[in-house]
Structure 1
């Protein structure tokens, strides 16, 4: 049941409280902001869930991909600037980043255009790559246009994967509409736990 339909018919006083409506309202109200903030860093998990929410009618898929693309590009431009202006000082303060940045810099030096185009799909080097580009001799306008192409490719692909996932679930689970909000919360918990585990492994290595 799309959220917009529910807002036209408020729950009468004395009616039973429905927690699903509160969750749907939160998704509709804060979903785009969450996607933008997630895309600033490593936002696949947020974007996948937002794609699922778009399939269920809580978010608009076109707006979702634009917001995600702008967030992704903004984040990469910031880390590029950070690498260009403060790269060496940053690595001195955060030596744990040095190995990743050196690995990313090697990729950039060998295949600059291709690496920038696919950098948002390279989990584990997502922040290190734009920092490494900033440390390289890649011109800022060349990075800008390649970054734009990368974000334009990444947003609909990842968001579309979440949308298709929602369509597949809907076709196989007739009762999905009764539990979809709990499914989404469960997916959030699983993705956050997996992300924390992988981040701890990268930090230790």
Structure 2
């Protein structure tokens, strides 16, 4: 089952879970499905922002609470973890805002920030604003891409099933591309 099919079936709950677990692909799919009328775009945006925010708060809290435990200690051995701490020291506010937009830093950064001396009172509001901006950007991309697909499909006159299959193929290709980039970065 594709991400788009899951989002179409489960609506904002799928966008919420996808933003927590997967990231951009699920949120873009939420925008595409919003364009198709399965969910309202503001609800897709809110679900994506809330899912992203809560996941990052969870990882921050895990880094803060379990910084001396073996699981978090394994994360500290990763090259991305050291780079995240280095960027955090140089640009604390900017890095907290931008890490979700930086490929390879999405999961490790809130853990790294949690192990640092950054107080929760600093992380929480910056994380909230960044989650809203991130969700707005990626759901809008999906929505606008849906407009382009609909316009192109209008010229071709395919059925709704064909249109959803095309969206699924494009999104799957994007997901595979992201996985290959991630795999090579390891």
Q: TM-score range by the shorter chain?
A: 0.7 to 0.9
8 A contact 1:169–1:176 mirrored in 2: no
C-alpha distance in 2 between matches for 1:146 and 1:111: 13
Alpha-carbon contact 2:87-2:95 (below 8 Å) kept: yes
Hey, what does 2:173 align to over in structure 1?
Answer: 190
The match for 1:92 among 73, 78, 101 is: 73
1:24-39 aligned within 5 A? 27-39=7-19
Matching of residue 125 in structure 1 with residue 105 in structure 2:
yes
Number of residue-to-residue matches in the alignment: 179
Equivalent residue for 1:66, pick from 46, 50, 53:
46
Deviation, structure 1 residue 62: 0.6
How far 1:42 sits from its partner (Å)? 4.0
**What is the TM-score normalised by the length of structure 1?**
0.80
Tell me the residue number matched to 1:162: 142
1:13 counterpart residue number: none
Q: Secondary structure at the match of 1:173?
A: helix
CA–CA distance in 2 between the matches of 1:200 and 1:28?
A: 28
Do the aligned partners of residues 172 and 181 (structure 1) sit closer, same or farther apart at CA in structure 2, a change above 3 Å counting? closer
Q: Which has the higher contact order (CA 8 A, sep 6+)?
A: 2
Deviations 1:145-194, CA, capped at 9 Å, x for gaps? 11001011111111001101111222233125542111122123213322
- Gapped regions of structure 1 (runs ≥ 5): 1-22
2:183 equivalent in structure 1: 200
Preserved contact between residue 118 and residue 150 of structure 1 (Cα < 8 Å): yes
Q: Provide the C-alpha distance between the structure 1 equivalents of 2:101 and 2:159, rounded to a whole number of angstroms.
A: 31
| Distance in 1 separating the partners of 2:11 and 2:170 | 15
Instruction: Give, in angstroms, the shift of residue 73 of structure 1.
Output: 0.4
Q: TM-score, normalised by structure 2?
A: 0.87
Give the Å deviation of 1:132: 1.1
In structure 2, list runs of 5 or more residues that go unmatched.
none
Give the superposition deviation at 1:27: 4.2
1:117 to 1:27, Cα distance in 2 relative to 1, 3 A: closer
Structure 1 residue 80 and structure 2 residue 63: aligned?
A: no
Specify the structure having the higher radius of gyration (Cα): 1
Distance 1:92 1:86 in 2: 9
Partner SS state of residue 87, structure 1: coil
Asked if structure 1 preserves the Cα contact closer than 8 Å seen for 2:60 and 2:110, the reply is yes
Partner of 2:95: 115
